[in-house]
Chains A and B, each alone.
Chain A
Amino acid sequence: MSQTPASGRAGERSTWTGWLRAHTLDAIPPEHLLPDTQPAYVASWIYVFGVLALTAFVVVCVSGLVIALKGPTWWQVSSRGHFVNSLHLWSVELFFFFMVVHLWGKFFMAAWRGRRALTWMTGAVTFLASIGTAFTGYLVQQNFDSQWISTQAKDGINATGIGAFWNVLDFGQMLLWHVALLPLAVSVLIVLHILLVRTSGVVPPIGVDLDGRVEGAAAKEAAP
C-alpha cells in the first residue's frame, strides 16, 4: 500500500482519523500551539506566574510518583524519603502560591474578555480541583497528623451533607482520589486550559490593543 501525500483538507475528511487531524489542525494550528513570539505586553512579570504554577505542578507529579513507588515506610523513615516527601509538600505550596498570584493577575485583568470565558472557567475549576487534591493529600500521609485532620474533616464534610458520598475516613477511597482521580482531572484541565490560552492568545491588559499600544492611539495617529 502506497502512501499518498496530503493534497488538501477535503480529502482528509473521508476517514475518522483524517477528519480528526483536519479538525485538530483547524482548531489549534501548530503556529498557535508553539508560537515563536508573544505580543509586547507579555513582557511583564505578572504574565510569568501561569508557567511557574505549571512548573511547580510538574515537580508535584514527579515527586508524587516517586513516593507512590517507594511507599509509606520509605517516606516516613528514611532520610531520602523525608526529602522527597518534603519536596512534594513544598512544590504543592509553590503551586498554590503561583496559582493564586496568577489568579489575582488575571482577575484584575478581566482575563475572560475577548471570548476567553472558557479559559477563565477551566482555570477556576482547576483551582477547585487542586484544592480537593491537596486536601486528600493531607488524609493519606499515614501519620497521626492525617488521622487528626480526617476526623476534623469528617465533621466538616458531614455538615455540608455530602458525607455519604465523600467519606474522608475511608483511607482507600481518599488514596485513590489523591493519586489517581483528582491528579488526572487536574492534568486534563491544565492541558485544556493551556490549549485554550494558545488558541485565544494571551489576554492583553485592559486598555491595550493586541500590538501593545493604548487603544485608540492608532486612530489618533492616523487622524489628520
Chain B
Amino acid sequence: MSAGGDPLPLLAALAVSIEALVDLTGPGHYLDWRFIQISGANFAVIVLMLVVFALALFLPFPGGRKR
C-alpha cells in the first residue's frame, strides 16, 4: 500500500496496523513513505511501544505516594 498521496496518511497507517493486528493469516501489508517501508504489524508494535512508554511515565504507580 502506498500512503504517499493520502491526505491522512497517519489514519491510513493506523487502519492498516489494526488490520494487521486482526488478520495475521493473509499476506503482509506494507506502508510506504518515500524511502521508508515498514510492515503494518511492525508499525503497530512501534506505536504501541511509544504509547506504553508514555503511559509508564505519566501513570501513577500503585502505593508510590506512601513511600
B8 interface residue (CB < 8 Å to A): no
User: What is the distance, in angstroms, from B25's C-beta to the closest C-beta of chain A?
Assistant: 13
Among A40, A43, A46, A97, which residue has its beta carbon within 8 angstroms of that of B56?
A: A46
The answer to whether A101 and B49 have CB atoms under 8 Å apart is yes
In the complex with contacts A45-B59, A46-B57, A101-B64 CB distance below 8 A? no
User: What is the distance, in angstroms, from A72's C-beta to the closest C-beta of chain B?
Assistant: 21
The answer to whether A40 and B67 have CB atoms under 8 Å apart is yes
In the complex with contacts A43-B61, A45-B59, A101-B67 CB distance below 8 A? no
In the complex, what distance in Å separates the CA atom of A100 from the CA atom of B56? 13
Segment 5-56 of B: residues with Cβ below 8 Å from A:
45, 48-49, 52-53, 55-56
User: What is the distance, in angstroms, from B6's C-beta to the closest C-beta of chain A?
Assistant: 28
In the complex, what distance in Å separates the CA atom of A82 from the CA atom of B59? 37
The answer to whether A44 and B45 have CB atoms under 8 Å apart is no
User: What is the distance, in angstroms, from B26's C-beta to the closest C-beta of chain A?
Assistant: 15
The answer to whether B63 and A101 have CB atoms under 8 Å apart is no
User: What is the distance, in angstroms, from B7's C-beta to the closest C-beta of chain A?
Assistant: 31
Q: Is the interface of B mostly helix, strand, loop or mixed?
A: helix
Interface residues on A, range: 10 to 19
User: What is the distance, in angstroms, from B63's C-beta to the closest C-beta of chain A?
Assistant: 7
The answer to whether B67 and A49 have CB atoms under 8 Å apart is no
In the complex, what distance in Å separates the CA atom of A104 from the CA atom of B55? 13
In the complex, what distance in Å separates the CA atom of A203 from the CA atom of B51? 23
The answer to whether B45 and A45 have CB atoms under 8 Å apart is no
User: What is the distance, in angstroms, from A187's C-beta to the closest C-beta of chain B?
Assistant: 24
Among A43, A46, A212, which residue has its beta carbon within 8 angstroms of that of B63?
A: A43
In the complex, what distance in Å separates the CA atom of A44 from the CA atom of B59? 8
Q: A40-B67, A97-B48 are in contact. List 17 more A-B contacts (CB 8 A).
A: A40-B64, A43-B61, A43-B64, A44-B56, A44-B61, A45-B55, A45-B56, A45-B59, A48-B56, A97-B49, A97-B52, A100-B49, A101-B49, A101-B53, A104-B53, A105-B53, A212-B67
B: residues with CB less than 8 A from A are 45, 48-49, 52-53, 55-57, 59, 61, 63-64, 67
* The 7 A-B residue pairs with the shortest CB-CB distance in the complex, in nearest-first order: A43-B64, A45-B56, A40-B67, A46-B56, A43-B61, A101-B53, A43-B67
